[in-house]
Amino acid sequence: MIQFALTSLIFLAFQAILVLGLNVQFGLTGILNLAYIVFYAAGAYTAGILTGPPPAPPGLTYIGGWNLPFYVGILGAMVVAGLLSALVGAVALSRRLRGSYLAITTLVVAVVALQVVSQAQGLFDGSLGLLDVPLPFGRGLSSGAFAYLYTGFMIVVVAICFAVSARLRRAPFGRVLRVIREDEVAASVFGYNIFKFKLIAFTYGGVLAGLAGCLTIFYVGSFSPAGWGVGETLFTLTCVFVGGAGNTLGVLIGASVISLVFVQLTTLLPTLQSDPSLILVARGMLIPLLLILVLRFRPTGILPERLPRLAYRPRAAADAVREAPAEDDSPPGGQPQVSGGQR
């Protein structure tokens, strides 16, 4: 039971990092990026080819295999995912695509990337994916010790990502992102470079997605195209909606509810253990149903976004004006001022 709890916490941490990045893209900036999971895959594949061994078994082919330390894999995954997201964002956002047009563009990117990686056998071993990626803390640890150590490591990483994302949201940069989300025309009137701010937010989300991907492959030890379909982006987007788009703590709550209650705990149902395929069917029904109920009865999510209160209060200002003494408009010498139409 302890092992199950640790595994659930680790997978929750992966999802938490993902939702924090997508919340900056969609929750704060309003960018509906359906290719978000591509950057997650880019981080996983980069970490795998940097830290994994050369392809030895017959038929196993992929680039890389350099046996580098795991921290090099983490840095490389974040850099590659960030560069890829910057490239995709520069192409998509420079066209000033908005709403459904931007979503369709990113969806095409996700589908094309999935097909290329699946069909190109020499790139990342096609549909089989990368295998036998070494553990980050050495092979001498027992499974229990590794689970405890990796859980603590993931808690620290999530805490850092949460602190940075929360700070970004409260900073002037985050306020500009919210202005862009609400009205790009108004933001441009005030002189903000819309493309630059959106590209930075897009890249930041891609970096967090790449970080989640590399940490996933380090724990699982393998990665294949089956783990990063378009449905995974929709799953992460559901966590953002349920928790409260734009609220850093809210999206973590949404990820916790869906990952723990609707994903991990469903594996404990005794009636589903006889047929594991029923678990996927149950998740496929329960999670969309939850999203529909949230959008119907609480569209702002479990923990809605809280905007900062204005220091200026119109009622108090009006009271101050009424209580202020009237100014004497008489000219010097005590003579009343005569308007232009009177004699």
pLDDT of residue 340: 46
| 85 close to 202: Cβ distance less than 8 angstroms | yes
Number of alpha carbons in the 13 Å side-chain half-sphere of residue 70: 17
> Containing H/E element for 96?
none
194-220 helix and 70-94 helix, angle to the nearest 10 degrees:
150
- Cα angle: 234, vertex 236, 239; to 5 degrees: 110
Question: Domain containing 178: what range?
Answer: 2-229
pLDDT of residue 339: 45
194-220 helix and 143-170 helix, angle to the nearest 10 degrees:
170
CA distance 26 to 19: 10
Q: pLDDT tens digits, residue range 220-270? A: 999 999 889 888 999 999 999 999 999 999 999 999 999 988 887 776 666
329 located within any domain: no
pLDDT of residue 287: 85
pLDDT of residue 56: 78
Please state the domain count of the chain: 1
Main-chain phi, psi angles of 190, to 5 degrees: -80, 5
Q: pLDDT tens digits, residue range 14-53? A: 999 999 999 999 999 999 999 999 999 999 999 999 999 8
243 located within any domain: no
Low-confidence ranges of the chain (pLDDT < 50): 310-312, 316-318, 320-321, 336-343
305 located within any domain: no
327 located within any domain: no
DSSP code of residue 127 = T
62 located within any domain: yes
* Pick from 43, 25, 210, 38: nearest CA to 110: 38
pLDDT of residue 1: 77
pLDDT of residue 323: 55
310 located within any domain: no
pLDDT of residue 269: 65
At 223 the three-state DSSP class reads strand
Residue 31, classified by CB atoms within 10 Å of its CB into exposed (0-12), middle (13-18) or buried (19+), is buried
84 located within any domain: yes
304 located within any domain: no
pLDDT of residue 309: 58
